Structure 1
Amino acid sequence: MIKGIGIDIIELDRIEASLGKSDRLAARVLTASELGKYEELTNWRRRIEYLAGRFAAKEACAKALGTGIGKLSFRDIEVTNDEKGAPKLTVQGYDHYIYLLSISHSKEYAVAQVVICEKA
């Protein structure tokens, strides 16, 4: 049974402008594991897409849970990849749900959608 859905879209220019000033946004949004992968990226554009995609995924997840960012922090939500490379979510304190995540990028935007289902 579906418990919630959420979607978020963000302009890549906003992420780029923030990163141009400092890496504070990356440190605030990404978990330690995500930050490690982010720091391994040598292509500036790929760093922007990576951070924007995770930002959108975490916002979409918080919307789907009905909590918003506030009750949950960005670092309570982690985006990893399964064995085929598809993104997946884990959320501290909410492991009783199944999370379905899709992230996409265009030249100007990153978008993410999350569907939350009850475990059988």
Structure 2
Amino acid sequence: MQILGVGVDIIENSRIKKSIKNKKFLSRVFSKIEIVNSRNISNKSNYFSKRFAAKEAFSKAVGSGFRNGLNFNDISVVKDRYGKPSIKLNTQLKNIIKKKFKTLKVDVFLSISDEKKHSIAFVILEKK
């Protein structure tokens, strides 16, 4: 086991609260599954803020930021049946990881949290 990358991000929830009123912003930044899953959430600004921070933290862990083919809406933050968040690796993300780290055998660990004013995310990429 080897740590390949670490990323962290914190965001003011008020920034996202303003931005999510714009449908173009929503579709450019968030995946379809994230938008669908938000329908049953009462505090949408914190919901989307945590996911935004997770996307930023993931891009930092990969070491590329949002360039070289990595787009915000390629990264989907989903939860398992117990509520544990994870990043769903689609084909685009797998290709970026393979190109950067020369392996697909990577575990992605994600922790997200929020409070009234801020949301934070922490990502670790570990070689299996």
> Shorter-chain TM-score category?
0.7 to 0.9
Please tell me whether the aligned partners of residues 41 and 47 of structure 1 are also in contact (alpha carbons under 8 angstroms): no
Q: Identify which of 55, 63, 66 aligns with 1:66.
A: 63
Counterpart of 1:69, as a letter, is: F
Aligned to 2:117: 108
1:13-92 equivalences under 5 Å are 13-20=14-21, 22-38=22-38, 40-41=39-40, 43=42, 46-71=43-68, 72-91=70-89, 92=93
The SS at the match of 2:116 is: coil
Q: Hey, what's the Cα distance between the residues in 2 that align with 1:97 and 1:78? A: 17
Q: Identify which of 105, 108, 128 aligns with 1:96.
A: 105
- How many Å apart are 1:30 and its aligned residue? 1.1
Q: Any unmatched runs of 5+ in structure 2?
A: 98-103
Q: Any unmatched runs of 5+ in structure 1?
A: none
- How many pairs were matched up? 115
CA deviation profile, 1:64-102 (whole Å, cap 9, x unmatched): 000101221012211111232100112322353110000
> Identity percentage over the alignment?
36
Counterpart of 1:100, as a letter, is: F
Q: TM-score, normalised by structure 1?
A: 0.87
Q: Hey, what's the Cα distance between the residues in 1 that align with 2:41 and 2:10? A: 24
